[in-house]
Amino acid sequence: MILETLEIRGVEMHYYSVCKRKLWLFQHGLGMEQHSERVEEGKVLHDYAYGRLDKEIEIGGEAVVDAIDEDWVREVKISSRMERADRLQMLYYLYLLKQNGIEKKGLLSYPTEKQTVEVGLDEAAIQEVEAAMQGVRQIGSGTLPKYRKLPYCTKCAYRDFCQSGEIGEEEA
């Protein structure tokens, strides 16, 4: 099972929860994040938040957690607006660790909001992660999902591409 999980990156689990079109584009090599101000903001926040912790810890190949200590895996995020996606990404990291014999709890940290959310991996969460992994694989092997305007679109790195109208039409 571990080898199957390694082909999926944590960011793909996040995108799966946010936007299937964004996930497909990312999986097919169209990375727009390098030009995104929002991504840059996140990198700066990550660099300055929780300076005493070890950062950028790799889990099994593709997955990289923001920080880790004896008891906790921590992801630092700009805003809790995408907490559902953040949670799925954290659950995936906890799942990978568990597959390798390491059990930890997760913390989603939103320093600008002075908020931290604890995330734990139970049986229901394991089933959620496994279903999402299957969904990530299905999106990647399928065709480009149609554009759907979502609340997140205004700050998305892929916005101009998706809203250009050249590829895919808006779903009703």
Pair 49, 76: CB distance under 8 Å: yes
Residue 84, pLDDT > 90, answer: yes
Tokens encoding 41: 């903001």
Mean pLDDT of the chain: 82
Q: For position 2, what pLDDT does the model report? A: 37
Query: Is 3.90.320.10 the CATH number for 2-163?
Result: yes
Pair 99, 2: CB distance under 8 Å: yes
Give the distance from CA 11 to its chain's centroid: 3
Largest CA distance in the chain: 49
How large is the average pLDDT for residues 70-82? 89
Q: What pTM, to 2 d.p., does this model score?
A: 0.81
Residue 1, pLDDT > 50, answer: no
Q: For position 31, what pLDDT does the model report? A: 72
Q: For position 162, what pLDDT does the model report? A: 87
Q: For position 69, what pLDDT does the model report? A: 78
How large is the average pLDDT for residues 127-155? 92
Pair 107, 117: CB distance under 8 Å: yes
Residue 144, pLDDT > 80, answer: yes
Give the distance from CA 144 to its chain's centroid: 19
The closest of 28, 139, 38, 23 to 85, measured between CA atoms, is 23
Q: For position 172, what pLDDT does the model report? A: 36
Q: CA-CA distances (angstroms) from residue 39 to 72, 97, 107, 134, 159?
A: 24, 26, 20, 27, 14
Q: CA-CA distances (angstroms) from residue 143 to 20, 33, 121?
A: 11, 21, 32
Share of the chain above pLDDT 70, in %: 76
Of 1-5, 56-60, 92-96, give the range with the top mean pLDDT. Answer: 92-96
What residue spans define the domains of the chain? 2-163
